[in-house]
Amino acid sequence: MKLYAIILYQRSGANLKLVATATNVADFGYFERSSVREFMHFFSKTIGERTAPGTRNAVSEQAYVFFCHAREDGYTGIVIADSEYDKRVAFSVITKSLEQFTAKYTKETVDRATARDLPFPEIETMLTKYQNPAEADALLRVQRDLDETKIVLHKTIESVIGRGEKIDNLVERSNDLSASSKVFFGQAKKANSQCCIVM
Amino acid sequence: MLDVLNAIFDRFGSKLDEFDLVPVLSEADAEFHPFVVAVTPENSVKLGIPFQIVPALYTEASRGLIEAKQQSASQATSAARSSSSSSSWPEHAADLNSEIVRKLQATSRAVLMINAENYTAWNARKFLLTAKAVALQDELLFLALVFRKHPKSGEAFAHRRFVLQRLLINDPPAIKQTRLAEEFAICTTVANSYASNYFSWSHRTWLLEQVASDKDMVNTELETIKAWTAQHPQDHSGCHYLQQVLLARLRTRWPVLSELFAGEGSLALKNAKQVAALLSNANCNDLAVAATAALTEWREALNESAALLELHADNEALFHHRRFLVYHASLLAVATGIQASTELLQQETTLAQTQFAPRSFGSTPSAAQRSRLLSDYLSWLSSLHQHTADWKL
């Protein structure tokens, strides 16, 4: 079980504004890291924008799972983990991070600022803390009763983005991804895996 | 291209600890064009091989390798004036000139970085190692580099074992211990980068056999692997290895129990005759004393597993691990007296029914999975119960 990222957004209209983020890419190859980080944010935003306020989503993509909780008040939290990570813990981590964030900054402050002006080191601590299975289990003992029936499960990102759109097109059109990340995405797709033997 | 690659290795040597395939070529005027070389603040060096040049590089390297192999064979044959087959490796490396040795080393290295399953290339390296043209220690570093990109290469693990066997024979005890500790660490890294990696775990089992008599190392290994399985609760290969460590620890501490656990800890049930023969064969008193002590220790593992199962009762790997623990506990209990075994299984049934049962929450997929796993487990328990009843003899 591995936590890769906690990313928090605030909704303004149809768009999401990044307000806080923590990522852990130590497991990835040196040359992949920056692209992986870009893609984590790109996929998170794609999923977050398509999650209706007041609902929860869990989206599997290859070996990773994106857990998304959009609150009624427009704050949206995403946790990226591997498929072994307990979903009850993942959603509790989102709830906790959003609670701490909104306790620290008022809505008015957030409206006027960007992520850079809203330092939130607590989120890094949280990311490290819940890598630890003992901490995750402790959270689970308190939080055991999360109602799983309300979580919408998706097997791929494609099934979230809906009809008429393809993830390849979204990647191509995106302004958030660098040119080299787009090439990386193409190569990885061609080889059908992110950690492949090309031959 | 091969020359540039060699220059990179000559320049950075052991600092080069990672390589990967990258989507872009470096600038045409860069020092190591077309390769990408990055030096991190920690002073380790990362090599990027652009996707575009991989086919060309592989062709160049494998042609070079075959050429070098033929040259070495013909040169050795003419030097020894014997008529040995030209397709095999020469017997004496001294017959070869250094240029061919360098060529063999460089081409096999490039081939293996792209395709770690190339048999000829590993054989070329085995030849260089036996000829002492490459140091065994350096070969371990090269293998670690290969594992970064090819964690699931059976050939690479076989080669590593070949190197280790040669090193361990000559190692003094203190060095041997650090070397094995490093080996365990490598296995962990590789297991992290590729789940259920059979080769890495069987390599680790082989290492465990090498340290089986060393109590401290087995204990350290137990702690390491416990932490690992907690981190990867669904990877059964980790659990399976944990079982090997638990059994190895019992065998080391109470050699008299070895026979009871013969058969590699598999769940193939022993029949009544086998158990009766065991109990009458061994010095019964010794066995009972050892079994009682071992059972007390085994309970610690049972408790840990129960705590995990209570929280993650939809995890099949945890239930399999529990079967292993309970089966061995009942074997130990039989050795202390049959009544103890019946009692143990009854307690286990009650525990499973109360603690591992699904909490009542509608009909979610995981609740369904939980009750299915639990009922499988309970029927396994009752069949074990019937089976052990025969052990009374």
Q: B188 at the A interface (CB within 8 A)?
A: no
Q: pLDDT of B272-312, one tens digit each?
A: 666 666 666 656 677 788 888 888 889 999 998 998 888 88
Predicted complex ipTM: 0.80
Rounded mean pLDDT of B44-53? 90
User: Is B192 at the interface with chain A, CB within 8 A?
Assistant: yes
Rounded Cα distance, B354 and B348, in Å: 10
Q: Measuring CA to CA, which residue among B258, B202, B203, B250 is closest to residue B222? A: B250
Task: Give the count of domains, chain A.
Answer: 1
Q: A180 vs B23: CB contact, 8 Å cut-off?
A: yes
- Whether B19 is in a domain gets the answer no
Nearest residue of A to residue B234, measured between CA atoms = A84
The reply to whether A88 falls in a domain is yes
Q: How far is A85 from chain B (nearest CA, A)?
A: 9
Residue B332 has a pLDDT of 85
Q: How many domains does chain B have?
A: 1
Write out chain A in H/E/C secondary structure: CCEEEEEEEEEECCEEEEEEEEECCCCCCCCCHHHHHHHHHHHHHHHHHCCCCCCEEEEEECCEEEEEEECCCCEEEEEEEECCCCHHHHHHHHHHHHHHHHHHCCHHHHHHCCHHHCCCCHHHHHHHHCCCHHHHHHHHHHCCCCCHHHEEEECCCHHHHCCCCCHHHHHHHCCCCCHHHHHHHHHHHHHCCCCCCCC
Looking at every residue in chain A, the average pLDDT score rounds to 86
Model confidence band, residue B246 (pLDDT cutoffs 50, 70, 90): very high
pLDDT score of B269:
57
- Across the interface, of B38, B311, B367, the residue whose CB is closest to A30 is B38
Check pLDDT > 90 for residue A101: yes
Chain B residues with beta carbon closer than 8 angstroms to that of A130 = none
Determine, for residues B362 and A149 on separate chains, whether the beta-carbon distance falls below 8 Å. Answer: yes
Q: State how far the Cα of A18 lies from the Cα of B6, in Å rounded to an integer.
A: 46
In a domain, residue A185? The reply is no
Cβ under 8 Å to B: A residues 52-91: 83-84, 86
pLDDT, position B196 = 85
Expressed as residue numbers, the domain containing A84 is: 3-157
In angstroms, the separation between the Cα of residue A143 and the nearest Cα of chain B is 11
B300-358: per-residue pLDDT in tens?
A: 999 989 988 888 878 888 999 999 999 888 888 887 877 778 888 889 999 988 888 76
Farthest CA pair distance, chain A:
54
Residues of chain A with Cβ-Cβ distance to B367 below 8 Å are 148
Q: How far is A131 from A24, CA to CA, in rounded Å? A: 10
**CA A121/CA B11 separation, integer angstroms:** 40
Work out the pLDDT band at B219, boundaries 50, 70, 90. Answer: very high
Is the Cβ pair A27, B192 closer than 8 Å? yes
> Looking at the complex, does the CB of residue A149 fall below 8 Å from at least one CB of chain B?
yes
What domain range includes position B295?
Answer: 267-393
Q: Given CB atoms, is B75 within the 8 Å cutoff of chain A?
A: no
Distance CA B314, CA B23 (A): 41
Query: Which CATH number belongs to the domain containing residue A17 in this structure?
Result: 3.30.450.50
Is residue A164 in a domain?
A: no
Q: Are B120 and B133 in contact (CB under 8 A)?
A: no
Q: Which residues of A touch B230 (CB under 8 A)?
A: 133-134
User: In angstroms, what separates the C-alpha of A93 from chain B's closest C-alpha?
Assistant: 17
Residue A131 lies in a domain: yes
Question: What's the alpha-carbon Rg for chain B, to the nearest Å?
Answer: 27
B24 close to A (CB below 8 A): yes
- Residue B135 token pair: 């140091």
Does the beta carbon of A142 lie under 8 angstroms from any beta carbon of chain B?
A: no
